């Protein structure tokens, strides 16, 4: 199969698809470090919390929320958090039957658990994609089809740019459509919408998610373009 033109083409395109998946998920992982919320909250025009969180509180609580997504802790990591003494969740988040001192209510905790599971699955896909790319690279080197592998890397870079530019247009022209579609794919209906008074919305308003999508687009697209140009030069 590898000695045939068709076989090498298939492996080259498989390499390209793995590059696309890897670059997008690497970009997502980069945003799951504390630097992103630090930058985001200091962006010009980022909305204040109209229910009273200070910048310092938002930075502290958002950092804990993001840390939960990538650590091995159970949901009690967030469930045990409380508002500062004397403060409670504002209405309508705070109902008579609720423990209004909880920083995150039960619906928010369930959603964060769902998000953590999604992130964990995405990281497994990322690790698998990178291992497959390494395996294909070694196979290409040993099997004498390095040129096809390098062509696949270049294709993957350009493919990432094309896909990312398409997503960028959707984000700019119809962010709400892509945001809703994303959640409908990964989460059950009714589990990912919250009142504006809930802590998750106070920490991560719509502006945060617009910038997050744009950051993924810029990171993945930039890495794709660099990879494609480097591979094009290497193949000459």
User: What is the predicted pLDDT for the residue at 39?
Assistant: 95
Q: What is the DSSP string of 97-138?
A: TS-TTBSS-HHHHHHHHHHHHHHHHHHHHHHHHHHHHHHHHH
User: What is the predicted pLDDT for the residue at 4?
Assistant: 66
User: What is the predicted pLDDT for the residue at 71?
Assistant: 96
User: What is the predicted pLDDT for the residue at 10?
Assistant: 84
In this predicted model, what pLDDT tens digit does every residue of 213-236 receive, in sequence order? 899 999 999 999 999 999 988 866
- Digits of tens for pLDDT over the chain (236 positions)? 555 677 678 888 999 999 999 999 999 999 999 899 999 999 999 999 999 899 999 999 999 999 999 999 999 999 999 998 888 888 777 776 678 899 999 999 999 999 999 999 999 999 999 999 999 999 888 877 888 899 999 999 999 999 988 888 887 787 777 787 787 777 877 777 888 999 999 999 999 998 998 999 999 999 999 999 999 888 66
Task: Give the E-state strand segments of the chain in sequence order.
Answer: none
Torsion region of 54: left, alpha or beta (phi above 0 gives left; psi -120 to 50 gives alpha)? beta
Q: What does the alpha-carbon distance between residue 106 and residue 97 come to, in Å, rounded to a whole number?
A: 12
In this predicted model, what pLDDT tens digit does every residue of 40-80 receive, in sequence order? 999 999 999 999 899 999 999 999 999 999 999 999 999 99
Q: What does the alpha-carbon distance between residue 194 and residue 207 come to, in Å, rounded to a whole number?
A: 15
**Where do the structural domains in the chain lie, given as residue ranges?**
5-235
């Amino acid at each position: 199969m590898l000695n045939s033109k068709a076989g090498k083409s298939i492996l080259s395109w498989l390499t390209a698809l793995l590059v696309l998946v890897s670059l997008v998920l690497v970009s997502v992982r980069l945003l799951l470090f504390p630097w992103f919320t630090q930058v985001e909250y200091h962006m010009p025009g980022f909305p204040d919390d109209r229910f009273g969180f200070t910048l310092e509180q938002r930075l502290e609580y958002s950092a804990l929320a993001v840390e939960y997504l990538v650590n091995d802790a159970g949901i009690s990591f967030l469930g045990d958090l409380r508002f500062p003494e004397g403060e409670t969740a504002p209405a309508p988040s705070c109902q008579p039957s609720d423990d209004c001192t909880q920083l995150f209510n039960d619906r928010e905790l369930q959603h964060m658990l769902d998000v953590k599971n999604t992130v964990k699955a995405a990281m497994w896909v990322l690790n698998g994609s990178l291992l497959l790319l390494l395996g294909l690279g070694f196979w290409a080197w040993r099997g004498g089809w390095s040129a096809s592998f390098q062509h696949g890397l270049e294709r993957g870079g350009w493919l990432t740019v094309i896909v990312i530019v398409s997503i960028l247009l959707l984000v700019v022209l119809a962010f709400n459509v892509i945001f809703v579609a994303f959640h409908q794919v990964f989460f059950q209906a009714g589990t990912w919408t919250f009142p504006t008074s809930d802590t998750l919305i106070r920490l991560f308003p719509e502006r945060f998610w617009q910038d997050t999508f744009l950051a993924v687009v810029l990171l993945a697209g930039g890495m794709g373009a660099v990879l494609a140009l480097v591979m094009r030069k290497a193949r000459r």
